[in-house]
Structure 1
Amino acid sequence: MKKINWNNVRLVLILGIVIFLYSFSSKRNAERMMTQAEVEFTDSENFITKEIVNKLLIQNFGSITGIQKDKLDLNKVEKSIGKNPMVERAEVYATVDGKLKAIVTQRKPVARIFSGSQSYYLDHKGGKMPLSDNETARVPLVTGDIAKTNAKKLHELLDYIYDDNFLKKNIIGLSVLPGGNIVMQSRGYDYEIMFGAPINIDKKFKNYKAFLQDAVRDTLITNYKTINLKFTQQVVCTKK
Structure 2
Amino acid sequence: MRRINWHTIRLVLIIFIMIFLYSFSSKRNSQRKISKIDIKFESNENMFLTHEMVNNLLIQNLGGTSSIQKDKVDLNTLETVLDDHEMIEKAQIFSTADGFLNMRITQKTPIVRVITDVDSYYLDSKGDKISLSENFSARVPLVVGAISEENCKSYLKLFNEIKNDDFLSKKITAAKIMPSGNVVLTNRSYDYKIVFGKPKNEERKLKNYKAFYHQAIKDTLIKNYKEVNLMFIQQVVCKK
Band of TM-score, shorter chain:
0.7 to 0.9
- Asked if 1:42 corresponds to 2:16, the answer is no
Runs (5+) with no aligned partner, structure 1: none
Point out the more displaced range, 125-134 or 150-159: 150-159
The secondary structure found in structure 2 opposite 1:77 is helix
Runs (5+) with no aligned partner, structure 2: none
- Match of residue 29 from structure 1: 29
1:118-150 CA distance string (max 9 Å, x none): 211112111222111111111111111225x95
CA contact (8 A) 2:111 2:141 kept: yes
CA contact (8 A) 2:86 2:129 kept: no
Give 1:11 deviation, angstroms.
9.3
Q: How many residue pairs align between the two structures? A: 234
Give 1:107 deviation, angstroms.
1.7
User: How high is the sequence identity, in percent, across the aligned residues?
Assistant: 49
Alignment of 1:196-215 (within 5 A): 196-215=197-216
1:64-103 CA distance string (max 9 Å, x none): 1342211211122223333432222321110222100111
- Match of residue 157 from structure 1: 158
Change over 3 Å in CA distance of 1:175–1:24 after alignment to 2: same
1:183-212 CA distance string (max 9 Å, x none): 000111111111000100000011111111
Change over 3 Å in CA distance of 1:227–1:11 after alignment to 2: farther
Alignment of 1:1-240 (within 5 A): 24-44=24-44, 45-146=46-147, 151-239=152-240
The secondary structure found in structure 1 opposite 2:205 is helix
The secondary structure found in structure 2 opposite 1:162 is helix
TM-score (norm 1): 0.86
CA contact (8 A) 1:153 1:199 kept: no
1:22-42 CA distance string (max 9 Å, x none): 555444433322210011111
Change over 3 Å in CA distance of 1:30–1:204 after alignment to 2: same
Amino acid at match of 2:132: L
The secondary structure found in structure 2 opposite 1:184 is strand
Distance 1:31 1:16 in 2: 23
TM-score (norm 2): 0.86
CA contact (8 A) 1:35 1:66 kept: no
Cα RMSD for the two superposed structures: 2.6
Change over 3 Å in CA distance of 1:120–1:22 after alignment to 2: same
Distance 2:11 2:160 in 1: 62
Change over 3 Å in CA distance of 1:155–1:11 after alignment to 2: farther
